[in-house]
Amino acid sequence: MEPMRMVETAPGKFSLLLDAGTTDVDELVEELGHEPNGYFWEGVAQFLVSTEAPSLDGRFSYDPEGGMFCAYGTDKPALEELAALMTAVAEDGDRMRNLMTAAEAAGFEFDD
């Protein structure tokens, strides 16, 4: 699940975390005109959910900050699915570039 990590914050409550600035694609994100912070990664998650995994919509919440992406909730399988989607982007420059191109074409704006 690298670079993502899952934490059980209370029995049956989970947080999916990504430390901003620690992925293989950070330099590429900056080259594409974005700041790879927690808010940017929330945008990545939202775009992935809307385009590739609409069944995840509404199954968890987001609470990013500048230094960290966080999605949380009680639906661990949904968070695990999101982790797999995000890991694929965070570890593959071509995948990130394709996501950014698709987001731009769709008029999606990242809040970074």
Q: What is the CATH number of the domain that holds 61?
A: 3.30.1360
Instruction: Assign 39 a pLDDT band (cuts: 50, 70, 90).
Output: very high
* Residue 79: inside a domain: yes
Q: What percent of the chain has pLDDT over 90?
A: 92
> Would the pTM of this model clear 0.85, i.e. be above it?
yes
Residue 45 structural domain: 5-99
Gap between the Cα atoms of 107 and 4, Å rounded: 27
* Number of independent structural domains in the chain: 1
* Residue 112: inside a domain: no
* pLDDT tens readout for residues 49-86: 999 999 999 999 999 999 999 999 999 999 999 999 99
* Residue 48: inside a domain: yes
* Residue 78: inside a domain: yes
